[in-house]
Structure 1
Amino acid sequence: MMNALDLSNGQPYLLDASIVAARAAMLENSHMPKPDNDPPTYAALLALKPDDLALGRWASEAKLARNYFNDLRGHGNPGEETLRKLLAVIGKTMADYDREKARIAGTVLSEVESIPGSARSVFHGERLPDLEVRGTAMGGEFGDLDSDIELTELHMDEVIDRVARPIALANDPRAYALRIIGDSMAPRFKPGERVSVNPKATVSIGDDVIVQLRGDDGNDGERIKMVLIKELVRFTSTFVELRQHNPSTVFRVERKRVAHIHVVRANYF
């Protein structure tokens, strides 16, 4: 069998290892078009990628197929868990990704809301307003003193910080963030972790939720609210069933005690 030919003189030659490596690297990154031609999801990831990180190695370190980015370029719709794996490899967060995607797409939330409660419109050329982080504190235990079901105080009037607003919350003017207190939902939520709350999202079984409780007199208008941050297991006309992870327990809350149930999203910040 003949070796590769040097076409300049018709003589065979052996490929140098450095040439092979260089060509392999070129092929691995050759599918990278200009960001303006990419789907926003794909372009945002490429914009965050370190210059010295090859796409194939990035995918491999995230436990994905080496050609993952070829598929992503065509479909442009990775799952949230996949995004988190890719971002973890390069030390970035979902907030970093959302900011970059917003910059590339050029979409942000309008500050104009003409009808109370209506969805805000998304326009081009402005920056998404930050998400307010509301104050939280230990709220004791729910039910009996030895129940080990952790309550949280939510201070709606106290803004302790502001963080970048995820794209998913662009059209929810009531969205906010909070800091997890205690370890009752570990390892799902860790103490000190900041999560976002999406009041507009449809609540489904299996969601992580924040359940705002009515006061003892049935009033839910207080600015300091007692809340349960748990997993939604069941929802009926008479009770809400929730799961706490640490210690593991499933318990019920009478519907008459529930003021609101909102979806909680983790690891945005």
Structure 2
Amino acid sequence: MSDDSTLAGRIQIRLNDLHLDATPTSLEAGLSASAIRNILEGKSKSPRNDTLVRLARVLKTSVDWLGENRGPKELDSSAAETALPPRQILPPPNASISIVPAPRMLDDHINVLGLAKGGADGRFQFNGDVVETIPRPDFLRGVVGAYGLYVEGDSMFPRYKAGELVWIHPGKSPKREDDVVVQLHPDVEGDPPEGYIKEFRGWSPSKLLLWQWNPAEEFNIDRPLVKAVHVIVGRR
């Protein structure tokens, strides 16, 4: 019997009540595939309020019960709906940015960050590790927070090949046709953000406008999901 005194326990109760599995329920809520599993396993302890709202909707319960164990536990589908607009559902992540210390201004080396997983769509997730530290390129001398990463997936082929090393300048403003690393806000506060490598096309009032090469098509993301856009300034 699951314990209703914790968020993880209450989520498990509703999954059991509705005969649901964690991964498809996360995706139905418009969250990352691992969002519910991370909460159940104690990896994510403080979900944002909009994440709780989305979970309450698919678990057919109230936000009050899910978040604080008060209020009704069971709601029908119509009552579980809220005025919150549906979250844009993106392809599975292929990059999540880990939080790593910024290198010193005069450091002659730079960190290459590791990826936890990669997908053909170009979305990536950093695993939080520095896979290697290598000499800093001259064009990144004095750039705080600059980093490198190895490309995963084929969504930007032939522009980039899987396994190719690229250099990122986090303080440079993107211009049209720059290649960029797009960081997304995590589903759960404190989790590392996920991201994409795409070509920057601009901003609309509601979207970040991007382009990918394989397949060649527009790739747009709702602005509220975007945490940062970092420009790729070189490769090796």
TM-score, normalised by the number of residues in structure 1: 0.46
**Partners of 2:118 and 2:153 within 8 A in 1:** no
1:210 counterpart (164, 169, 181): 181
**Post-superposition CA distance 1:184-232 (Å, at most 9, x none):** 1011111100111100112111110000011235x4x423x31110001
Match of 2:148 in 1: 177
**Partners of 1:189 and 1:266 within 8 A in 2:** no
TM-score, normalised by the number of residues in structure 2: 0.52
Deviation at 1:139, TM superposition (A): 4.3
Deviation at 1:254, TM superposition (A): 0.4
Q: Does 1:250 align with 2:213?
A: no
- Which runs of 5 or more residues in structure 2 are unaligned? 1-102
Match of 2:191 in 1: 222
Deviation at 1:266, TM superposition (A): 3.3
In the superposition, relative to structure 1, how do residues 138 and 194 fare at CA in structure 2: closer, same or farther (>3 Å)? same
Match of 2:231 in 1: 263
Q: Percent identity?
A: 32
**Partners of 2:184 and 2:226 within 8 A in 1:** yes
- Which runs of 5 or more residues in structure 1 are unaligned? 1-109, 112-119, 123-127, 141-147
**Partners of 2:121 and 2:153 within 8 A in 1:** no
Runs of 4+, deviation exceeding 4 Å: none
Taking the aligned partners of 1:191 and 1:139, their CA distance within structure 2 comes to 10
Match of 2:109 in 1: 130
Deviation at 1:238, TM superposition (A): 1.5
Letter paired with 1:166: P
User: How many residues in Structure 1 have an aligned counterpart in Structure 2?
Assistant: 134
Deviation at 1:252, TM superposition (A): 1.1
Deviation at 1:236, TM superposition (A): 2.3
**Partners of 1:138 and 1:182 within 8 A in 2:** no
Match of 1:233 in 2: 201
RMSD value over aligned CA atoms?
A: 2.1
1:151 counterpart (97, 102, 123): 123
- If you compute each CA radius of gyration, which structure gives the higher value, 1 or 2? 1
Task: Name the SS of the counterpart of 1:160 in structure 2.
Answer: strand
**Partners of 1:238 and 1:254 within 8 A in 2:** yes
Deviation at 1:137, TM superposition (A): 3.7
